[in-house]
Amino acid sequence: MILNSVAIFFCSFFSLFLFRKFAHIINLVDTPSERKNHRGSVPLVGGLSIFVVVFSYLYVFPDTISSPYLYLLCAGTLLLVGVLDDYMDMSFKIRLLIQISISIIMMAFAGLVLIELGQILGPFSLNIGLIGYVATIITVVGAINAFNMVDGIDGLLGGLSVVTFASLGALFYINGQFSQASFCLVIIAATLPYILLNLGLPFGQRFKVFMGDAGSTVIGFTVVWLLIYGSQGEIKAIRPVTALWIAALPIIDAVSTIMRRIKKGHSPFKPDREHLHHILQRLGIGSKGTLAVICFIAAVLAVIGVLSEMYKVSEYLMFFLFLLVFYIYYSIICRIWRITVKLRRFFGITKKKYQKSSC
């Protein structure tokens, strides 16, 4: 497993350099704008290079996960759509229709349906029956877009995905599902080179790459595929409530953002600068400091989920605790402008300092 991971790491590194050259040729790059203050044109090939390597591994070792070829079809479609979206900005309605179609295909042919929710409401098992098919579509589409929405600063999407896949892999391993655990490790090994180049390491900003929608959407889909597989059926690696904790920060941030936008009468998909990483930067924390803080919070929440699974903490207790964390986060977000003004005054953070830290 270790040798495979090392090989995957270097293959991913090589593919990043190969695809970034190709990206410049076809103009698959991200250019600076009002909302994007990076320097120069940056290739949008992080996700493409990661999952070409992951897909190749899965094609060679198809027994790694359940229904591997169906996964390749679904994830490959999302990857292609993501590349096209990065290249020409596809309509969100078209992308949403494709994501819903992928969800239906996953349920129909892989049998991955979110029906058993465990004891999240009390000491009794909750089975939602046919409603589970609608819930699965919402969950899949939500996960795909949650990981897409969280991609706001260098290293963030990669860091959060590593936290999620590491937690998932640990639980699969503990439960004796070693092939699924190895698949999580493969994704982590393929993602690490991207994180390094995205942060300008070790070759500087000249070789910087971005994940692109192609990567973020496939990451979200892969997470929800593994979560549903691990939490449903006779042999479960995780309880459904644990899935919330493993991907807690992307879920909480995305749902809070959508609720806040709807409350203001805006489109839930209208971009803004009120995600957690924007807030931390307004407090004068630099991009790398913001990355460290957010990944630390995500890791703490994921560890809580893993430990609750290992020690079989009451499911409904963990569910209501998750709702409490969500409520606190949402309450803070709704009052964030007043809170940040007060904190900046208290710590003496001037607007000039904030602007410097966000560049």
pLDDT in tens, 251-286: 999 899 888 888 888 777 676 666 788 788 877 788
Return the structure tokens found at 137: 């579509």
List, for residues 115-174, the tens digit of each pLDDT value.
999 999 999 999 999 999 999 999 999 999 999 888 878 999 999 999 999 999 999 999
pLDDT for 350 equals 63
| Per-residue tokens: 14 | 């090589």
Of the two residues 340 and 254, the one the predictor is more confident about is 254
Spatial separation of the C-alpha atoms in residues 234 and 116, rounded to whole Å: 10
Instruction: Give the closest residue to 46 by CA, choosing from 76, 79, 7, 70.
Output: 79
pLDDT tens for each residue of 201-216: 888 888 899 999 999 9
E strand map for the chain: 29-30, 42-43, 116-118, 126-127
Residues 317 and 80: their CA atoms lie apart, in Å, by 41
What phi and psi values does residue 259 have, to the nearest 5 degrees?
Answer: -60, -40
